[in-house]
């Protein structure tokens, strides 16, 4: 018959008092591991045998779309903390109009026509148009004071960004 403590079923599994000394994490082992990893990282940074290695330059990139995306993300993320605030509806409408303006920017609109664009342009354009429509609808909802519609279209803005980045951003 298995012996259990009478109060063991009342304890939470994550409660530190529920762990026996043998089950507790060994903090000194974690510290030794961290120190070893730092040593390895330092050795790799200086090259093999302590000889510095030359880093290859990164390939040139057109940063114009990245700058546009940073502006778009700042507007989008700025909306989130005040999304439920009735007092911030004018600012939310302004931010949504800003997103719509960036989504219709000629640089963003024409990105798929670039010779270095190697992926499916129709999907990219569909995501961009969905972002534009959702942002316009979110602005109209905020101006009308319809917070339920605003939340729905904010979620669609978010969905457009995530879907496009998953498909077209290599580091996502």
The percentage of the chain sitting over the pLDDT mark of 90, rounded to a whole number, equals 48
Same domain, 20 and 86: no
Give the model's confidence band at 14: pLDDT under 50 very low, under 70 low, under 90 confident, else very high.
very low
Same domain, 34 and 95: no
Instruction: Give every CB contact of residue 163 below 8 A, 6+ residues apart in sequence.
Output: 127
Please report whether residue 39 resides in a domain.
yes
Please report whether residue 144 resides in a domain.
yes
Is 11 in contact with 17 (CB distance < 8 Å)?
A: yes
Please report whether residue 3 resides in a domain.
no
Same domain, 80 and 41: no
Is 123 in contact with 88 (CB distance < 8 Å)?
A: no
Please report whether residue 162 resides in a domain.
yes
Report pLDDT for 65.
86
Same domain, 82 and 35: no
Q: Token pair of 138, please?
A: 């979110």
Least confident range from 7-11, 39-43, 75-79, 164-168: namely 7-11
Report pLDDT for 27.
61
d(CA 156, CA 153): 5
Same domain, 86 and 134: yes
Residue 28 burial (C-beta neighbours within 10 Å; 0-12, 13-18, 19+): exposed
User: Is the pLDDT at 3 greater than 60, yes or no?
Assistant: no
Please report whether residue 92 resides in a domain.
yes
Q: Which domain holds residue 46?
A: 12-50
Same domain, 111 and 162: yes
Give the model's confidence band at 42: pLDDT under 50 very low, under 70 low, under 90 confident, else very high.
low
Convert 148-161 to b/e letters by CB count within 10 Å (16 or more is b): eebeebbebbbebb
Query: What is the pTM for the complete model shown?
Result: 0.65
């Amino acid at each position: 018959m298995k012996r259990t403590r009478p109060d063991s079923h009342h304890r939470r599994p994550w409660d530190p008092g529920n762990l026996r000394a043998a089950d507790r994490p060994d903090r000194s082992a974690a510290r030794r591991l961290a120190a070893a990893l730092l040593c390895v990282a330092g050795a790799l940074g200086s090259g093999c045998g302590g000889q510095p290695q030359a880093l290859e330059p990164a390939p040139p990139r057109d940063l114009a779309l990245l700058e546009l995306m940073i502006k778009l993300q700042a507007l989008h993320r700025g909306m989130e903390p005040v999304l439920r605030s009735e007092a911030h509806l004018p600012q939310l409408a302004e931010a949504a109009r800003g997103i719509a303006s960036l989504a219709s920017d000629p640089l963003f609109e024409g990105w798929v026509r670039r010779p270095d664009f190697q992926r499916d342009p129709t999907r990219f354009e569909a995501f961009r148009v969905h972002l534009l429509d959702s942002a316009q609808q979110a602005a109209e909802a905020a101006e009308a004071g319809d917070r339920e519609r605003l939340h729905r279209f904010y979620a669609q803005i978010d969905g457009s960004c995530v879907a496009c980045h998953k498909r077209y951003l290599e580091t996502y």
